[in-house]
Amino acid sequence: MELNVNTYLRRLVDEDASDLHFKVGTPPVLRINGQLVLLEGKRLSPSEVEQISMSLLPESKKALLEKGIELDVAYSVPGLGRFRTNIYKQRGSFAVAIRYIPSSMELTFEGLNLPPVIRDLAEQPRGLILVTGTTGSGKSTTLAAMIHHINQTQEKHIITIEDPLEFVHASMKSLITQREIGTHAPSFADALRVASREDPDIILVGELRDLETISLALTCAELGILVFGTLHTNSATKTIERIVNAFPAAQQSRVRSMISDSLKAVLAQQLIKTADGKGRCAAVEILIGNPAVGNLIREEKLAQIDSIIQTGSSNGMQSMDRALQQLVNDGRITPEAAYFKAIDKSLFADQTSDPILE
């Protein structure tokens, strides 16, 4: 009997889960509030997981999967929603990870509990804004909220370049063009190279994953375009280091100068289970680009950026520990949750009720 993947996707949405996994040898698994929950039912066989994998793919990509190539694709179910799927091989069989993508119309800064300064950043006319964090930290959701805000309030031409295309934005005040890697362009670099010639005010780059893409993004920001991008780094300082170190040593001085001139902000975020256990919320480290930050980048004094963040609250900056403390003060997360995510754990040790942490 064939498994109907849409039945499980309905379960994912109804139980407010973020992810759904199919793997040989286990029942289907949901991730609810950050925790894995096995669904009832028998263990999946290799043929069942392969059947699920094939049902999620368009005909044009099925041959690639049969060759063992890992694939990222978007999958839509009318009346239910959109999903980002990753299909891959492990131990000789297929496996599937599916993430639910909320409607972009659901995304508001208030609903996501994002700091007010993020609204101001979305209204910047030009420059480079980076949203960073590990996989599953909510980067795409934060960026989609920023694009949605711009779409509601400004007359701009926005180009998004994604792999796969996740949040679908219908043009409102803005004109939005969305391109998917593999469907509309062979790579981020190829899409970004032509995007700069398509009269954009804003470009969103789903991932700054290689030197050419990073270089083109910096050039676009220098040209007066507002560029949003993501990296898999966990702090503002490490984000800048990653970009600079992507280039050969002979080019790094020029790159530091480009970043110092164009950087508007780095948002480094992570998701934490809420105190009521019913969801997760974002803790966001915020670095705002200003002349002092630009000088530190240009002069290779990145170690001093953390001090700028610590003292820059009047400009909207906040450290990760400060963000965690605010969430604790607001009752959004527990001190124990903050302790495990904190950089300086001593700030939260005396607030916990767990003697192991004290």
C-alpha span between 163 and 60 (Å, rounded): 16
Least confident of 92-106, 277-291, 330-344: 92-106
pLDDT of residue 33: 87
* Domain locations along the chain: 5-101, 104-318
According to the model, what pLDDT value does residue 342 have?
94
Under 8 Å between Cβ of 19 and 100? yes
pLDDT computed for residue 355 by the predictor: 45
Residue 356: predicted pLDDT? 47
Tokens of 170: 């219908």
pLDDT at 66: 67
Tell me the average pLDDT across 218-228: 97
**Alpha-carbon span 358 to 349, nearest angstrom:** 5
Confidence of residue 339 (pLDDT cuts 50, 70, 90): very high
Q: Do 5-101 and 104-318 fold alike per CATH?
A: no
| Structure confidence at residue 287 as a pLDDT band (50, 70, 90) | very high
Of the chain, the percentage scoring pLDDT greater than 90 comes to 77
CA angle 332, 334, 339 (to 5 degrees): 125
d(CA 256, CA 249): 11
* Cβ atoms of 30 and 17 closer than 8 Å: yes
Give residue-wise pLDDT tens across range 295-319: 999 999 999 999 999 999 999 999 9
Cα separation, 264 vs 231, whole angstroms: 15
- Give φ, ψ of 39 to 5 degrees: -80, 155
- According to the 3-state scheme, what is the secondary structure of the chain? CCCCHHHHHHHHHHCCCCEEEEECCCCCEEEECCEEEECCCCCCCHHHHHHHHHHCCCHHHHHHHHCCCCEEEEEEECCCEEEEEEEEEECCEEEEEEEEECCHHHCCCCCCCCCCHHHHHHCCCCEEEEEECCCCCCHHHHHHHHHHHHHHHCCCEEEEEECCCCCCCCCCCCEEEEEEECCCECCHHHHHHHHCCCCCCEEEECCCCCHHHHHHHHHHHHCCCEEEEEECCCCHHHHHHHHHHCCCHHHHHHHHHHHHHHEEEEEEEEEEECCCCCCEEEEEEEEECCHHHHHHHHCCCHHHHHHHHHHCHHHCCECHHHHHHHHHHCCCCCHHHHHHHCCCCHHHHCCCCCCCCC
Q: Residue 196 — very low, low, confident or very high, per pLDDT cuts 50/70/90? A: confident
The predicted-structure confidence for 44-81, as pLDDT tens digits, reads as follows: 999 999 999 999 988 877 777 767 678 888 899 998 99
Between residues 4 and 125, the one the model is more confident about: 125
Q: Which of 98-107, 337-346, 348-357 has the lowest mean pLDDT?
A: 348-357
* 61 or 121: which leads in pLDDT: 121
CATH of 104-318, one of 3.40.50.300, 3.30.2010.10, 3.40.50.720, 2.60.40.420: 3.40.50.300
Mean of the per-residue pLDDT values of the chain: 92
- The identity of residue 84, as a single letter, is R
0.75 exceeded by pTM: yes
Residue 351 pLDDT > 90: no
Q: What is the mean pLDDT of residues 226-245?
A: 97
CATH number assigned to the domain covering 5-101: 3.30.450.90
Closest CA to 51 of 9, 18, 93: 93
By CB atoms closer than 10 A (0-12, 13-18, 19+), residue 33 is middle
Mean pLDDT of 265-293: 94
